[in-house]
Structure 1
Amino acid sequence: MMIPGNISILLVDDDVDDQEIFLLTMQDTGAGVDCEFACDGIQALEKLGGGAYQPQLIFIDINMPKMNGMELLAELKQNPRLVQTPIYMYSTSDQKEIVTKCMELGASGFMKKSPDIDELRRGFTQLIDNRAAL
């Protein structure tokens, strides 16, 4: 259950360790966060499909089974309910061509997964601060 004032976030990532790192890093930002997880694009579409769940931010890994991140991004961008929801790609793959393709598909931004927790925390803090300023 989301506490008022918390930022509702959906992370779509098939790696449970990356989900845990994401959650811990988000909690480390000092912002109130409510994180939900989906292990692939299909599960994400199921979570978002009913209309009851509306995250304020979505992060998507690129390399996943069943439906990769770019396919999911394209699908989510077709959903009128999510048109105002910022969607960030969150991946170890940061090749220029991949980043460009994600931006063309409508991603709000791209965050590279990093083993450096401090670097991740700074990136997430900046993103959340920018979101709060809107």
Structure 2
Amino acid sequence: MSYKNILLVDDDADDAEIFVMALAAIDAKIKSSVENNALKALKKLREAKKLPDVIFLDYYMPYLDGSEFLELLWEIKGLKKIPVVLYSGQSGSAIKEAVKKFKHLKFLKKPSNFREVIDSLQEILN
């Protein structure tokens, strides 16, 4: 597994908890962190000594939506190389447009149960 340091940017505490628990079930060596505010996440990324291997990003959040976050993220030198996975409970037109606009972006619809979260994350992380 190539991703050992994962950042989740998601304002839903329940979804974040399930995500972290699923990562731990997949591999206890995976380090994960959660930020519930996209603006704070950008600030932490700018200041980070060690960057995440991948960012999972909820698209619909207060302060910045996923597209705005990506625009700002990729303006910061050194951060454009971090893979990003849009992680959302919805798959509406805004998300489809973001996936078209940001070529290397992946999309993962939030699964409905814990086993599906594990299976979906394993597929992305392997």
Same fold per TM (> 0.5)?
A: yes
Identify the residue that residue 16 of structure 2 maps to in structure 1.
Answer: 19
Cα 1:72–1:106 change in 2 (3 A) is farther
What RMSD in Å do the two structures reach over aligned CA positions? 1.8
Residue 50 (structure 1) aligned to one of 25, 30, 47: 47
1:74–1:106 Cα contact (<8 Å) kept = no
Q: 1:6 and 1:76 mapped to 2: Cα distance? A: 19
Q: 1:6 and 1:87 mapped to 2: Cα distance? A: 12
Q: Is the counterpart of residue 105 in structure 1 residue 102 in structure 2? A: yes
Q: How many residues align?
A: 124
Q: Deviations over 1:54-113 (max 9, x none)?
A: 000101101111112221012112223122211010001112x23322221345201111
Cα 1:32–1:13 change in 2 (3 A) is same
Cα 1:107–1:73 change in 2 (3 A) is farther
Paired residue type of 2:105: S
2:3–2:54 Cα contact (<8 Å) kept = no
- Please, which runs of 5 or more residues in structure 2 have no aligned partner? none
Residue 91 (structure 2) aligned to one of 94, 109, 118: 94
Q: Is the counterpart of residue 76 in structure 1 residue 89 in structure 2? A: no
Q: Larger relative CO (CA 8 A, sep 6+): 1 or 2? A: 2
1:10–1:37 Cα contact (<8 Å) kept = yes
Q: TM-score, normalised by structure 2?
A: 0.88
Identity %: 28
1:10–1:59 Cα contact (<8 Å) kept = yes
2:3–2:53 Cα contact (<8 Å) kept = no
- Please, which runs of 5 or more residues in structure 1 have no aligned partner? 130-134
1:84 is paired with a residue whose SS is coil
